[in-house]
Amino acid sequence: MSATAGDAGRQQGPVARLGFQPGSVVQELGWDEDVDNDLRKEIESIIGSPLVDEEHGDVVDAVVLWWRDDQGDLVDALVDALTDLADGGTVHLFSPKVGREGHVDPADIADAAPTAGLATTTTLALGDMWGATKLVAPKSQPRR
């Protein structure tokens, strides 16, 4: 690896480690006033276009779901996040970190994911407020 490539990798924020790709269409669900706009801008910078909302009406490559503990049933939200998701797409569950209002217990995510037909792959801290869990459809089972 050249020094230039190494320097570029270090300049990328934590969102880059979630696997967003240039040209991808990323749908954002669960937006509210408390979301981290810097994280949103970083995703948009990586993909090269704005995030789309639930009204997009076409297939998307990934979904960012902002989720807080008091929002209801996580399984239902994850199933809803699959509506426009392309085969092989990913759901990125962004939830407040431990100690923050709306924190989602990792055990709740671990329980909800397989019920929704997803598997947890990566969990990362994103900034001061949010963490992300990357969810994918298991390769051993087709998604319904």
Q: Is 43 helix (H, G, I), strand (E, B) or coil?
A: helix
Question: How does pLDDT run across 12-71, given as a tens digit for each residue?
Answer: 677 888 999 999 999 999 999 999 999 999 999 999 999 999 999 899 999 999 999 989
Question: Rounded to an integer, what distance in angstroms lies between the CA atom of residue 126 and that of residue 115?
Answer: 25
Question: Rounded to an integer, what distance in angstroms lies between the CA atom of residue 14 and that of residue 134?
Answer: 13
Q: Is 83 helix (H, G, I), strand (E, B) or coil?
A: coil
Question: How does pLDDT run across 69-122, given as a tens digit for each residue?
Answer: 989 999 999 999 999 999 999 999 999 999 899 999 999 999 999 999 999 998
Inter-residue long-range contacts of 53-56, CB under 8 Å, 24+ positions, other chains counted:
53/27, 53/28, 53/29, 54/27, 54/29, 56/25, 56/27, 56/84
Secondary-structure class of domain 26-136 per CATH? alpha beta
- Burial of 98 (C-beta count, 10 Å sphere; 0-12/13-18/19+): exposed
- Looking at residue 4, its pLDDT comes to 39
- Looking at residue 49, its pLDDT comes to 97
- Looking at residue 14, its pLDDT comes to 79
More confident residue, 78 or 3: 78
State which H helix or E strand residue 61 sits in: strand 60-66
Question: Rounded to an integer, what distance in angstroms lies between the CA atom of residue 46 and that of residue 68?
Answer: 25
Model-level pTM? 0.85
DSSP-assigned states of every residue in 84-141:
TEEEEEEEEEEEEPTTSTT---HHHHHHHHHHTT-EEEEEEEETTTEEEEEEE--TTS
